[in-house]
């Protein structure tokens, strides 16, 4: 079992080859991207831990689509003053497919 932990968008993700996941929006050229901020690599029984990142290890991925998540509503209300405020937010995301983990 081979997997890695990468850091992107201020978050950490556990990824393996063939996985698809939603991450914070990134700008990718040619629909491909490479993550070089790898924190941990597990290859069968061999474990490598970075301090903070591993050198010479990269994770390649294809960008499947860009989009926006479902709308989240924020409603503020003040009692007895007839004061209210309704706002919505849609977080942009990028869906990626992990193709290869190189060590």
Residue-wise pLDDT for 60-95, tens only, equals 999 999 999 999 999 999 999 999 999 999 999 999
Q: Residues 100, 17: contact at Cβ < 8 Å?
A: yes
Q: DSSP label at 29?
A: S
- Of the candidates 12, 26, 11, the residue with the CA atom closest to the CA atom of residue 96: 26
CA distances from 1 to 57, 61, 71, 75, 103 (A): 17, 18, 37, 46, 14
Strands 83-89 and 46-49: unpaired
Q: For all residues of the chain together, what is the average pLDDT?
A: 94
Q: What is the pLDDT of residue 81?
A: 96
Q: Which residues contact 77 (CB under 8 A, 6 or more apart)?
A: 83, 84, 85
């Amino acid at each position: 079992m081979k997997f890695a932990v990468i850091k992107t968008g201020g978050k950490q993700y556990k990824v393996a080859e063939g996985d698809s996941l939603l991450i914070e929006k990134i700008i990718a050229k040619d629909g491909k991207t490479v993550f070089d901020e790898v924190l941990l690599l597990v290859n069968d029984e061999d474990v490598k831990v970075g301090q903070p990142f591993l050198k010479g290890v990269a994770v390649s991925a294809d960008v499947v689509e860009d989009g926006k998540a479902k709308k989240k509503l924020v409603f503020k209300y003040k009692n007895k003053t007839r004061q209210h405020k309704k706002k919505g937010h849609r977080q942009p995301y990028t869906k990626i497919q992990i193709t290869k983990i190189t060590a």
